[in-house]
């Protein structure tokens, strides 16, 4: 997004949106296989022009305060839908189904990637997370683009264990955020679908 100076360190802030799509009946999550071999949740970076009216040049504290304010706000929805259309091949029908799914804001996670080169800034990533709940995995027809995303898989946490080397930090943090909010309070699927607020 934009670089700022924190002390003597140049920091490149990157804002991403991630959809944690799950089938609550068997705790399986949709993971995409990136062409670099990593397994990630659907979503991606927000382009500068998509949030320039919400995140003007500002210091670190103001940036995070604005991010927090935007977590449940509609300004972030459009970039997420764009990413899902690109990565999952959603047409209008699939996108409308996705928009109607029960969902819950999970907050955000941050991660760092320090460059070994003094000429490059440290990357500070912030992933804004929303969980989306399916009644069954066949609700959405997924067709990956075959270029950036080359495959997809549904896995529960135990099934993820053999693939930990392919699961990056931000994906693990997103799963942890989901677990803190959902698994500490067992989810009654039918009651959740009755009570959840759909925008």
Is residue 168 predicted with pLDDT exceeding 50? yes
Question: 37 CB contacts (<8 Å, ≥6 apart)?
Answer: 166
Q: Is the dihedral of CA 29, 169, 119, 65 positive or negative?
A: positive
Q: Which residues, listed in sequence order, are joined to residue 160 by a DSSP beta bridge?
A: none
Could you say which of 3.40.50.620, 3.40.710.10, 3.30.930.10, 3.90.79.10 is the CATH number of the domain covering 2-195?
Answer: 3.90.79.10
Quick: pLDDT tens for 91-122.
888 888 888 888 888 877 877 776 667 677 67
With CA atoms as reference, report the closest residue to 76 among 131, 1, 31, 18: 18
The most distant pair of C-alpha atoms in the chain lies apart, rounded to whole Å, by 54
Look at the pTM and tell me if it is higher than 0.85.
Answer: no
Most confident of 41-50, 79-88, 183-192: 79-88
Q: Can you tell me the distance from the alpha carbon of 37 to that of 155, in angstroms, rounded to the nearest whole number?
A: 16
DSSP 125-169: EEEEEEEEE-SSGGGS-----SSSEEEEEEE-HHHHGGGGGGS-H
Tell me: pLDDT of 71 over 70.
no
Cα separation, 132 vs 18, whole angstroms: 10
Check: CB of residue 101 under 8 Å from CB of residue 60.
no
More confident residue, 106 or 57: 106
Average pLDDT, the chain: 75
Domain layout of the chain by residue ranges: 2-195
In this predicted model, which residue has the larger pLDDT, 5 or 139? 139
pLDDT tier at 17 (50, 70, 90 boundaries)?
confident
CA distance 85 to 80: 9
Share of the chain above pLDDT 90, in %: 22
């Amino acid at each position: 997004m934009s670089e700022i100076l924190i002390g003597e360190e140049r920091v490149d802030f990157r804002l991403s949106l991630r959809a944690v799509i799950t089938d609550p009946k068997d705790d399986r999550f949709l993971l995409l296989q990136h062409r670099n071999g990593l397994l990630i949740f659907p979503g991606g970076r927000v382009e500068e022009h998509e949030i320039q009216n919400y995140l003007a040049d500002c210091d670190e504290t103001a940036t995070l305060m604005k991010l927090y304010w935007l977590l449940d706000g509609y300004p972030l929805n459009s970039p997420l839908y764009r990413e899902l259309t690109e990565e999952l091949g959603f047409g209008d029908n699939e996108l409308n189904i996705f928009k109607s799914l029960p969902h819950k804001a999970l907050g955000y996670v941050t991660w760092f990637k320090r460059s070994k080169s003094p000429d490059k800034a440290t990357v500070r990533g912030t992933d804004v997370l929303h969980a989306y709940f399916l009644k069954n995995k066949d609700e959405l027809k997924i067709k990956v683009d075959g270029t950036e995303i080359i495959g997809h898989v549904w896995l529960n946490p135990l099934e993820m264990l053999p693939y930990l080397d392919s699961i990056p930090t931000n994906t693990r943090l997103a799963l942890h955020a989901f677990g803190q909010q959902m698994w500490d309070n067992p989810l009654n699927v039918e009651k959740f679908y009755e009570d959840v607020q759909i925008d």
